[in-house]
Structure 1
């Protein structure tokens, strides 16, 4: 079957280079002259870059003889660059990793087993999100939850009251958003943040996007119903027209409709609230997702590892890599520098140290996470190999429906076929 993820073009090279992993990776833990240089790659905002450099400086001061060189950029180009580096045996020593890519890299032998990194103060479910059958390949930096972020200033401008997010339905969401679109210069809501939007909706139907066995957990009828919902939201005026949606699929906070006050509601991870506030100049508010039946706790939100620290299987300095990852995740010093930018800290002691230091937005996000804990559904299954391509497939077929290039039923049939090929 054809693969479509960012590592697809690198699979052959990885398969060949895997033969050399034993000889090239895990070599001498220090350079001959006693100095070690690690390369650390991450994506993020300018704020994250500045915070991360301060963390690197603190680590280097505590660990003389180890130098860490940063390689950073934005989300859009990060994964293509990492795939190319990995295929050419030039991956960074330390890699900021995302959940939907972790199995893709781990199963191709590209990641270092971190089973001996201390995770004793991290919730077991969060730890397991970075583990495959072969070992622990990512240590979570923090946790977050997908929320519907609302802009109270735009609600007030439109003369629309904020909803009771504990009991509202998708129809309520449509009605509220359509009123804002009609009564203001902003759209009521921006498009779905995928695949989390689809995952949450499926969980409200008692299903998952993928199963623990690595198969799709939904059928054509489910996908068609979801695509029909998105089409109806556009027709009702709750969402922007297709021409606007196509420009707002997975932008950064600064360029998004939410960040530019172009939409009164948007789907975002809780750790992005501070950046959205800064971009919009307004104090935004995280809300629960609407639910299918309006029952309390019916949103079926899930707690997600915000991101992981991983290591390259080909690093010549595995012990130093683990030491740096341990510092990033378990050090209060690093936590106080990073605050909630990489999620509410996963390490409980670090979290307790950080909470009093958070700004208003991050404090609100942390309180939201705590508030919805009793309502969360089961943890998500670890994404299967090829999961990283499902986002692009889903976005593409949503646009096909939005532009009337295909009916929801036609798009659902083609979408499922592509998704099955991607993860088979």
Structure 2
């Protein structure tokens, strides 16, 4: 198995599973080649030996588009047994994904898979260009922000109509996360959850006990953070203010962040969420506005929680090892979010699909594409290579296949997600087309509230108007 240095990475706002101790210190240490073609070598090469006999490199986006322009998909111009496969991620993702594909082609020697990796920042522009040109890859790495964009336009196949894809081992909630208008357009690679993290050492120094996360309320959260700040040891809490904790808060009120035509919440509930962060700030339980903006802009290892200057923060479960590494302690704990009712089963927590595998509706080799996706999702060999880098699979057999390759932190994450599963209600609504940049709206208008230039209700009304205006029919 290929590994990477143990070093922290910046948390990704979109919740992707690029994470933890397997990441290099930078998410983008080197550019990806435009196309990496993997054939049935039957062996796994160490990273230092790539490219090898069966590996063909082409330079950048232009080469990918040139190949795409040659036929219905980039690889099919060369052979009917070829599929193109695009995904995003840093350099080590290229390495372990190539190993997974090599394991697939070892079992399917007639298959030739053309890998088209990219970094997150350029991935969506590249994919949009390919789709607009009528040359989408056969297998597409999809994200929750965009699945309605592509699924709603008919770009993605109905996965339940593909006989070569076995979905029987997946949790129904994971399957529902990939449905657009009732059609399964993406199969989850695994799940994460948005949680509070606490540093027991800072709690102890402040003379404050860790909370019971199955019963604490938002009032408890606020009082706890204020007590820590008043101790002079550290700030009580930092971070958060994500669409994820906004979704959690709204679900506690019986609402949802998204509806079919835009935001699914009332202005009053959204204003309460803005008010919550303003109250934390005004009581001293969290950082002031200038310091909060600065803290959100620096690398993970420089943030207040990582440097022991705050006791609590928020993160995705798959980022736990990165957080522990940044803090320098394996004792950092995950806590369920607070709730209005003081009950874990009513806290609105949800499992987010880290990312999805989709198949192009226009693929002329859907059978082979489905076989590849089936291998990525179900094959023990694939899971033993990928581990938890794309989230925690809902299939227990997939986790069992990872065996002793899982670290202590990996086990903590698996145990946490297993524990919360019985408490979860239905999955949140799918994000509508056109709203991929909505997090920037939430962040910007919350900043206005924090600096006192808008009231929570003014910000809420402006948020709904702006985000609803993004929606495309």
TM-score (norm 1): 0.83
Question: C-alpha separation between the residues in 2 aligned to 1:31 and 1:323?
Answer: 20
> Which range moved further: 217-226 or 375-384?
375-384
Question: C-alpha separation between the residues in 2 aligned to 1:353 and 1:277?
Answer: 25
Between structures 1 and 2, the one with greater helix share: 1
Please, which of 302, 307, 316 is the counterpart of residue 269 of structure 1? 316
Contact 2:197–2:315 under 8 Å retained in 1: yes
Shift of 1:139: 0.8
Please, which of 391, 402, 414 is the counterpart of residue 343 of structure 1? 391
The corresponding residue for 1:13 is: none
The corresponding residue for 1:174 is: 222
The corresponding residue for 1:291 is: 339
Question: C-alpha separation between the residues in 2 aligned to 1:318 and 1:257?
Answer: 48
Distance 1:223 1:134, change over 3 A: closer
Query: Could you say what secondary structure the match of 1:310 adopts?
Result: strand
The corresponding residue for 1:132 is: 180
Encode CA deviations 1:9-41: one digit per residue, 9 max, x unaligned. Answer: xxxxxxxxxxxx9x96479x8554566362422
Encode CA deviations 1:127-172: one digit per residue, 9 max, x unaligned. Answer: 1221223732211111222211222233234333211111112122
Query: Could you say what secondary structure the match of 2:318 adopts?
Result: helix
Q: How does 1:86-125 map to 2 (within 5 A)?
A: 86-89=131-134, 91-115=136-160, 116=162, 117-125=165-173
Question: C-alpha separation between the residues in 2 aligned to 1:50 and 1:133?
Answer: 35
Question: C-alpha separation between the residues in 2 aligned to 1:355 and 1:207?
Answer: 40
Distance 1:372 1:33, change over 3 A: closer
Distance 1:355 1:157, change over 3 A: farther
Question: C-alpha separation between the residues in 1 aligned to 2:152 and 2:212?
Answer: 44
Q: How does 1:10-409 map to 2 (within 5 A)?
A: 25=72, 30-32=76-78, 36=82, 38-43=84-89, 48-64=93-109, 65-73=111-119, 75-89=120-134, 91-115=136-160, 116=162, 117-133=165-181, 135-183=183-231, 186-211=234-259, 213-247=260-294, 249=296, 257-259=304-306, 261-283=308-330, 284-313=332-361, 315=363, 317-354=365-402, 357-409=405-457
> Which range moved further: 371-380 or 151-160?
151-160
Shift of 1:80: 4.5
Contact 2:173–2:426 under 8 Å retained in 1: no
Encode CA deviations 1:368-416: one digit per residue, 9 max, x unaligned. Answer: 1121222222222233223423322211211111122211111111111
Contact 1:25–1:313 under 8 Å retained in 2: no
Count how many residue pairs are aligned between Structure 1 and Structure 2.
Answer: 399
Shift of 1:341: 1.8
TM-score (norm 2): 0.75
Larger relative contact order (C-alpha < 8 A, sep ≥ 6)? 1
**Over aligned residues, Cα RMSD in angstroms?**
3.1
Contact 1:106–1:137 under 8 Å retained in 2: yes
Query: Could you say what secondary structure the match of 1:345 adopts?
Result: coil
Contact 1:41–1:92 under 8 Å retained in 2: no
Shift of 1:332: 0.8
Question: C-alpha separation between the residues in 2 aligned to 1:127 and 1:168?
Answer: 31
Distance 1:190 1:88, change over 3 A: farther
Shift of 1:122: 0.7
Encode CA deviations 1:30-56: one digit per residue, 9 max, x unaligned. Answer: 55456636242223x555454333323
Distance 1:292 1:80, change over 3 A: farther
Contact 1:144–1:271 under 8 Å retained in 2: yes
Distance 1:277 1:68, change over 3 A: farther
Question: C-alpha separation between the residues in 2 aligned to 1:328 and 1:372?
Answer: 25
Structure 1 stretches lacking a partner, 5+ long? 1-20
Query: Could you say what secondary structure the match of 2:356 adopts?
Result: strand
